[in-house]
Amino acid sequence: MSIQGAPILKNLLGKENNKKTIFDKLSQSVKITGKTTGNSVDAAGSQKQKLDVFSIQSELMEYLDPTAGLSEEEKKEYEEKIIQKLRSGKKLTAEEMNYLRAKNPQLYVQAARVQAMRENLKNQLENCKSKEEVEKVYGNFTSMISKDDPMKEALMAAYDDELKEFKKTDKYQALPEKEEDAKKENGADSGDSYQYSYQKEATDLKEAAAGDSV
């Protein structure tokens, strides 16, 4: 970056002209950290460096927080919108996921699971060879939702939304109606494609779990 370009970027990254930018805040943290230099650092100095790293991380999280500068009531409204979006089955943005990770770690874990399961369904749907198989795959996923799952509503909504989006694609429209039609077109038994994929995934998960327990 040129010296002349730095002030421009600095102003762009500043939230407001009358407030410190992220560069100002990080520069201050780095200056503090720079005081504990030398070939050997004692225990107090090491602890000081850890605190300085935490300070830098805190400054970054504050800068990236979309609710920074909002009132407590506005922050609650923002989080409630995320929760409602999650319950309705819609994908959360990276900004919304980062907010949950920083402000509501417990909900973040659940939201990340819903997003991952939705992505898994999407991948399976894209491998289907017929519209009939699409319905089977969707049915298999929804049937695996436990009635005791705290996120069952969000999972069901996410699966419904993903199926709805997939059915809008040209790929879905081009699929034959029945599995038998797909077999005739491909000259091979493609009806077991999902079952094989699902069984392989289950086997991989078991092997991974066995490896973690060793």
Cα(70)–Cα(79) distance, integer angstroms: 12
Nearest alpha carbon to residue 150 among 93, 109, 180: 109
Which pLDDT value is given to residue 115?
95
Structure tokens at 108: 């973040």
What percentage of the chain exceeds 90 in pLDDT? 44
| Angle CA 98–102–107, to nearest 5 | 80
Q: Domains of the chain: which residue ranges?
A: 5-64, 72-213
- Which stretch of 51-55, 70-74, 75-79 has the lowest confidence by average pLDDT? 51-55
Which pLDDT value is given to residue 187?
60
What percentage of the chain exceeds 70 in pLDDT? 54
| Angle CA 117–152–106, to nearest 5 | 75
Beta carbons of 60 and 22 less than 8 angstroms apart: yes
Mean pLDDT of the residues in the chain: 74
Query: What pTM was estimated for this model as a whole?
Result: 0.58
Per residue in 194-214, pLDDT (tens digit) is: 455 555 555 555 555 455 444
Cα(119)–Cα(71) distance, integer angstroms: 35
Per residue in 111-140, pLDDT (tens digit) is: 999 999 999 999 999 999 999 999 999 999
Q: Is the pLDDT of residue 66 over 50?
A: yes
Beta carbons of 121 and 159 less than 8 angstroms apart: yes
Cα(22)–Cα(15) distance, integer angstroms: 9
Chain centroid offset of residue 156 CA = 18
Beta carbons of 30 and 37 less than 8 angstroms apart: no
Q: Is the pLDDT of residue 162 over 70?
A: yes
Nearest alpha carbon to residue 162 among 88, 98, 94, 93: 88
Beta carbons of 26 and 38 less than 8 angstroms apart: no
Which pLDDT value is given to residue 121?
97
